[in-house]
Structure 1
Amino acid sequence: MKDIGSVALFTIFAAFIAFFIFDSDDSTGSGISGTYEQGSYDSLPEEPSRGEIEETLENQSFTSVENMMEETFPQLDTVQTDRGRAEIYMTSEFNLREVEDLIVEEVPPEETGDRQGDKQALIYDEEFVILKESEEEAGLVLIEVAEKEFVRNNYSPSFFDGMLAYALLNQAFGTNDWRNSQRNRCQNAGGCYGGYTMYGGNGGSFRGSSNRGGGPGAGK
């Protein structure tokens, strides 16, 4: 009886350890992962003052929009998928219109979208810059520098309604009918990316990671 009791106790202990090993696996879903660990944004990345940022812009020249972001604004997160990558930067020193003006003046885009309330899109040769007011943090502007592959394969077409003509998007992606083909794919997938959200997905099957920053939020 003593041996049976020892075996039972060992079995329970082994099952307990196995549960924690498998439960700790970071399952992100949909091939999406963020960079930072889950947590609140009580402490955002430290940002230079408005004056310091303006001085940097005045005293430096930039070879690309990525270079400008790296040298000017703090990085908040990275979104990596099996269909492209996006880097997320942030600022609370400038509003969305001001950020757009700064970027366009320093590194002129190939195409500038029509600003739609709390969001804007700029098209460059190899990437999109998507500006969006944070839904979670008042006064915070999110700056997403996304590879064209990421935008083409992950974004919901409706995100660009009224902002960029679909002819421009077709040209950027080298396709004839991106809107309809992507819309069908999004419907079959149960939703697509609707812009970065700080605390995870908003529902649907296309969700962000469990990491800090949350990855993509679902868009319709």
Structure 2
Amino acid sequence: MRGFGGVIIVVIIAVVLGMNMFGNNGDSRGISGSYTEDTYEELPEEPSRNEIIDNINNTDTSSIEELIRKGFPLLDTVKTDRGISEIYMTQELTLPKVTELLKKNIPPEEVSERNDGKQVLVYPEHFVILQESDAEPGLVLIELSSDEFVRNHYSPSFFQGLLAYSLLNRMLDSDDWARKRASTCQSTGNCYGGYNKYGGYNSGKPGSFRGSSNRGGGPGAGK
């Protein structure tokens, strides 16, 4: 009987662990209404350098979303009730080469300076935010963020040295977005400041805008 009781206990423990592992898929992480889609465990495979270039150059589209999706593998997704940001990646191309390809095929409305391993291309309804990963040398992150996502979540300080606040105000259809958003970030400590492969940067409180749970790691420090 003692052995039978031990089996029952093991079964109960297994059931409880299973519920904990699979019962929280819909939980929000960080701010209300936000979650990330677990789109990777390891870095996804990607085509060769020449294939990527050919795919982009031969894609007949006027949509920056479609162009990026045709060229690069999806790494992660940050989605909230106030916008969505898709993160793509490449280890085959440098940041300047990615910028060159995107600009050549679909000219953006604005192109930022390249500064501290970051550059921003502004398109109608989207920001393309390019970053050289601090976590993994040679990895370039290509973040396709809706205007709505940038407007509601990004910290204006992320764009320092890249885009003037007056330009951001205009592109985000606001007469004072930068000042108001900076005030909100300071008071809440909960503003997005770009993505890295171990989780979304966060300028304040930990736990907001985490990347895929498969990667583990939490937010880093916003810039």
Q: TM exceeds 0.5? A: yes
| Cα pair distance change 1:19/1:116, threshold 3 Å | same
- Residues in 2 aligned to 1:92 and 1:103: alpha-carbon distance in whole angstroms: 16
**TM-score with structure 2 length normalisation?**
0.82
How many residues were matched structurally? Answer: 208
Q: Which amino acid aligns with 1:29?
A: G
| Cα pair distance change 1:56/1:16, threshold 3 Å | closer
Report the alpha carbon displacement of residue 18 of structure 1 after superposing the two structures with TM. Answer: 6.0
| Cα pair distance change 1:17/1:143, threshold 3 Å | same
Check the 8 A contact 2:169/2:177 in 1, yes or no.
yes
Matched with 1:219 is 222
Q: RMSD in angstroms over aligned alpha carbons?
A: 2.7
Based on CA coordinates, which of the two structures has the bigger radius of gyration? 1
Q: Which amino acid aligns with 2:130?
A: L
Check the 8 A contact 1:207/1:218 in 2, yes or no.
no
CA distances 1:98-131 after superposition (whole Å, capped 9, x unpaired): 1111110011000111111210011111100000
| Cα pair distance change 1:94/1:38, threshold 3 Å | closer
Report the alpha carbon displacement of residue 202 of structure 1 after superposing the two structures with TM. Answer: 5.5
Identical positions, percent: 47
Single out whichever of 19-28 and 190-199 deviates more from structure 2.
19-28
Q: Which amino acid aligns with 2:141?
A: L
Alignment of 1:139 onto 2:138: yes
Q: Which has the higher contact order (CA 8 A, sep 6+)?
A: 1
Matched with 1:3 is none
- Residues in 2 aligned to 1:93 and 1:50: alpha-carbon distance in whole angstroms: 5
| Cα pair distance change 1:107/1:25, threshold 3 Å | same
Give the unaligned 5+ runs of structure 1.
Answer: 1-9
Check the 8 A contact 1:193/1:217 in 2, yes or no.
no
